[in-house]
Amino acid sequence: MAGADVAGAGVAGAGVRGAGVSDVPREEFRRVTLDDPLVEPLLRELTHEYVTRYGPGAHQEMARYPVDAFAEPHGVLLLLLEDGEPVAGGAYKRYDEHTAEVKRMWTHSAHRRRGLARRVLAELERTAAAAGYRRIHLTTGPRQPEAKGLYLAAGYTPLFDVTADLTTGPLPFEKSLPALLPTH
């Protein structure tokens, strides 16, 4: 399952404060590990969201992967921080030799509808392409229409019938990535 609300790319500086400008947050993408304390709001809210939408069994999804699943060189966990506080995030892990799998897409409930998820998704795509992946795969659930809309709007190809009234099972998507030279 993947949550929703993403956009954009780049690191630090998307809203750097200048002299006398106090209402523009300083933004940065930060690579973290699953056990970093900054990840706690993501895990807490995402778990609550999954349990609310899918029931108590959703706890298993959040505990499904070990800490190193989202660690470099085969994965990454990114947080978008505003003034040092996490407002959105997402991760990918190795799906196969050429494919990254997006997981743990999240936007803090107080910061939704601002295009943050689209920015995180674009940064995950850029990072995965730089790591040598040629494709992204992900799944979301039928009770997350905003996630489905995000992935369709971001150019992902649905691997299911979008006209069907699906109420169970995962909704898989894929997207080809541009070929980039690896950064490491």
Structure confidence at residue 17 as a pLDDT band (50, 70, 90): very low
Question: What pTM did the predictor assign?
Answer: 0.83
Q: Which sign does the torsion angle of CA 152, 157, 159, 164 carry?
A: positive
In Å, how far from its chain's centre is CA 87? Answer: 12
DSSP helix, strand, coil percent of the chain (3-state; round to 5):
30, 25, 45
Mean pLDDT of the chain: 86
Q: Which two tokens stand for residue 156?
A: 């992902």
Residue 168, pLDDT > 70, answer: yes
Q: Tens digits of per-residue pLDDT, 26-83?
A: 999 999 999 899 999 989 999 999 999 999 988 888 888 888 999 999 999 999 999 9
Domains delineated in the chain: 27-176 (3.40.630.30)
Task: Report d(CA 101, CA 127) in Å as an integer.
Answer: 12
